[in-house]
Amino acid sequence: QESITGNKVVKIFGREEFERARFRDQNEQLTRTFISSERIQALTGPVNEVLAAAAIAGVILYGGYSVVVSGTRSQGDFIAFLTSVFLLYEPFKKLSRVHNNIQLGLSGADRIFEILDTDPQIVDPKHPVSFESSSAEIFFDSISFSYPNSETEALREVTLRIREGSKVALVGLSGSGKTSLVSLIPRFIDPERGRVTLGGTDIRNVSLAELRKRIAMVDQHTFLFNDTIFQNISYGKEDASEEEVHAAAKAAQAFEFISQLPNGFQTQVGEAGMTLSGGERQRIAIARAVLKNAPILILDEATASLDNHSEREVQKALRELERERTSIVIAHRLSTVLDADMIVVMSRGRIVEQGTHEELLEKRGEYKKLYELQFSSQELLKGQTEGDAPLSQVSR
């Protein structure tokens, strides 16, 4: 279940084979336990049945002997019939229970095999090639994409070049196509028209494992596995040393709070990280991305659901993470992307403006409207919260 819920994390860190192996191991362990339990039931069942049959047979023999001695047959016939009913009742009851168990098992198996038998939509090319260069420049070439059963296109003729080592921010109202655009980079989805290149190579011609090695991702829906903090940080690098994990935690502004926990890095985070706060989970996810050390970083509203204190801590970590990487940031607060090398404004699946913060303000277009709306909302919300309001609030 965790592997399915956190499938983006599994894919972006290239851990599909690890999760398959873990799934097989757990299934084998469950099978061994089930077989052992069934063997015990198989032994105790017949023993109980033999004892019950012996008891009933004793009663029948005693009653039959009494009837024979007395010379009457009607009572014997009755006892024989009654005994037959008793002997047949329990096997039929067991057959009913077995049938119910089989039906329950089949219904569960149907749901599992429905997932297992689903053909993946995104697959490796038959003849994968290597990247032509180590460049982390990304080019979206006339991209169009629509989701199944949707009447409108999520992306329409999008062309965008992201220079290596630059920080590019995607802004726009909810549903403008920002997440769809960044989902193309690790091939969570493929375009219907157009292509995406990385370092001049069409990413559809490269194996998924090779592509995703170059990408780290932190999004607003932080997913942690039900394991220790150490294992969650080192998820993308199985052979990571303790020093490497600690260094990543320090870079992510997470080392201090982890050290204060009773079990430190061996603390169990619980299902989906439920024992930690939102800011703590986010910093662990950032540490995981730091340790991967990929040349491309995707931040999908990484601070969207945090309080002000947690956001400040996470922003410190993100600035460290963005250094010397090609960074694509989906921003819900414009104040967090004012230093971006380029801000791309999206609306209804199209790019409507792009440029630096100062250039876009001078254009007096869509970005300036968003900027003025957001910072005027800041004054209205001043009594409730510090900082500027997210675009999701402004658009209401």
Percent of the residues in the chain that have a pLDDT greater than 70, as a whole number? 70
Q: Are 197 and 203 in contact (CB under 8 A)?
A: yes
Query: Which among 373, 388, 376 has a CA at the least distance from the CA of 335?
Result: 388
Of residues 268 and 117, more confidently modeled: 268
Among 114-118, 154-158, 335-339, 352-356, which is the least confidently predicted range? 114-118
pLDDT value at position 383? 46
Q: How confident is the model at residue 22 (pLDDT cuts 50, 70, 90)?
A: confident
pLDDT value at position 75? 62
pLDDT value at position 26? 73
Among 69-78, 276-285, 291-300, which is the least confidently predicted range? 69-78
Identity of the highest mean pLDDT range in 24-38, 132-146, 294-308: 132-146
The answer to whether residue 279 scores a pLDDT higher than 60 is: yes
Query: Which among 223, 245, 243, 250 has a CA at the least distance from the CA of 234?
Result: 245
pLDDT value at position 394? 44
Convert the pLDDT of each residue in 215-274 to its tens digit. Answer: 998 887 788 888 899 999 998 787 889 999 999 998 888 898 999 998 999 999 888 788
Question: What average pLDDT does the segment 127-155 reach?
Answer: 91
Q: How confident is the model at residue 97 (pLDDT cuts 50, 70, 90)?
A: low
324: left (phi over 0), alpha (psi -120 to 50) or beta: left
Among 16-20, 128-132, 316-320, which is the least confidently predicted range? 16-20
Question: What average pLDDT does the segment 297-305 reach?
Answer: 79
What is the rounded CA–CA span in Å between residue 38 and residue 45? 10
Question: What average pLDDT does the segment 291-296 reach?
Answer: 90
What is the rounded CA–CA span in Å between residue 322 and residue 120? 32
Which residues contact residue 177 at a Cβ distance below 8 angstroms, ignoring those fewer than 6 apart?
154, 155, 158, 346, 348, 349, 350
Convert the pLDDT of each residue in 305-350 to its tens digit. Answer: 666 777 777 777 778 778 888 999 998 778 888 889 999 999 999 9
For the chain, give percent helix, strand, coil, nearest 5: 55, 15, 30
- Count of helix runs (H) and strand runs (E) in the chain: 14, 10
